Amino acid sequence: MTKCNPALLPLLILSLCGGGAAYADALPQEQADSPVISVYLDGKPLPTEVAPLNVDGTVLVPIRGLFEAQGAALSWDNTGKTVTATKDDTTLTYQMGTSSAKLNGRPVEVEVPGIIADDTAMIPLRMASEALGNTVNWVPATQSVQITSAAVIYETSILRGVTLRSKPDGESKPVTEDLLSAGTKVHVINVADALWLKVRTEDNLIGYISAKPKFTDYTSSSLTEKQAAALLAYGRTFNGTPYEFGASPDQTDTFDCSSFVKRLFEDILSVELPRVSYNQAKEGTKVGLDELRPGDLLFFTARGLDIGHVAIYAGNNKILHTYSSEEGVHTEEFDGQWKKRFVTARRIL
């Protein structure tokens, strides 16, 4: 579960029939000093019989009113300490204290196990609300949880078979054994990081898929910024690596300008660029100098060629590249000779 704020992990309190053993002690005293937290459903305050609480960095809110406000029917098995919410063809079942729920019979990871305190059952807000097809956001400025129950739009197409995983990690367990095949539609819940998207499938599975461009047609400013930052951070790990004209792109002991750029895009984003700068300048989309953003490629005249050098725009009027046997890979100002020799800029991300 992506945490919008490290100090605030949204959870829900479910006020249900009492009885049975408790999984936790009474709520700690320090909750009284927590900021007032509000919960909104589709922009309207959600009435709660118990005020939202912040307990050790966890926001707790009554769940019964929330589920019912979202059109879900609720049932509680006191013997098994299990709650079941049903809406249309979606059924979510969760047993208190366990680390996974069942969404239409399939397991869904619960990062923070539910507890029962003072005869009140508490389960994760994001897991529960997203399972019903809703979107959840934490707004630090207003100390509020915003829940949007608008219909999910499956706006993103899978371009190449990709695994739906339980965590944003290539080694994590797949949510389903079958790949999401080319042509499948998914809804992007959020950008987990430069390499992973959290998505919902049309058959209501939630998990993570690769954010590399070859797998989906998804684009957003957030993803672009994260991928550019990852690309540049990786590039800077080669600072000082010697320059060698004609260096093989299959090794990292030496680089020339275009082998460096090719290697970075391939290693981080699995984007395969041509070997030489002249051909790289035909990729992506042309952008003007007043439109530059980190990750864009800049091309220059060199060695009597119309295009004979390439660099990566690093933001703040700086470029990351290699051309000098004295400096190797380095970052410098985009001015002087580089402005005079500039030919074009191309956007790959």
Amino acid making up residue 203: D
What mean pLDDT is predicted for residues 185-213? Answer: 91
Residue 84 phi/psi, 5-degree rounding, is -130, 125
What pLDDT is recorded for position 293? Answer: 97
Cβ-based burial of 257 (10 A; exposed 0-12, middle 13-18, buried ≥19): buried
- At residue 311, does pLDDT exceed 80? yes
What pLDDT is recorded for position 56? Answer: 59
- At residue 60, does pLDDT exceed 90? no
What mean pLDDT is predicted for residues 262-273? Answer: 97
What pLDDT is recorded for position 32? Answer: 45
Confidence of residue 16 (pLDDT cuts 50, 70, 90): very low
Contact 19, 67 (CB under 8 A): no
- Cα 183 from Cα 181, distance rounded (Å): 6
What pLDDT is recorded for position 8? Answer: 36
Token readout for 348 is 């790959």
Confidence of residue 288 (pLDDT cuts 50, 70, 90): very high
DSSP output for 186-227: EEEEEEEETTEEEEEETTS-EEEEE-STTTB----HHHHHHH
What's the pLDDT tens digit per position in 72-85?
A: 888 889 899 898 98
**0.85 exceeded by pTM:** no
Q: Greater confidence, 16 or 55?
A: 55
Q: What is the mean pLDDT of the chain?
A: 84
- At residue 61, does pLDDT exceed 70? no
What pLDDT is recorded for position 27? Answer: 42
- At residue 246, does pLDDT exceed 70? yes
- At residue 30, does pLDDT exceed 50? no
Amino acid making up residue 109: E
What mean pLDDT is predicted for residues 210-215? Answer: 97
Q: Greater confidence, 159 or 50?
A: 159
Closest CA to 95 of 27, 20, 31: 20
- At residue 13, does pLDDT exceed 50? no
Confidence of residue 35 (pLDDT cuts 50, 70, 90): low
- Cα 328 from Cα 79, distance rounded (Å): 68
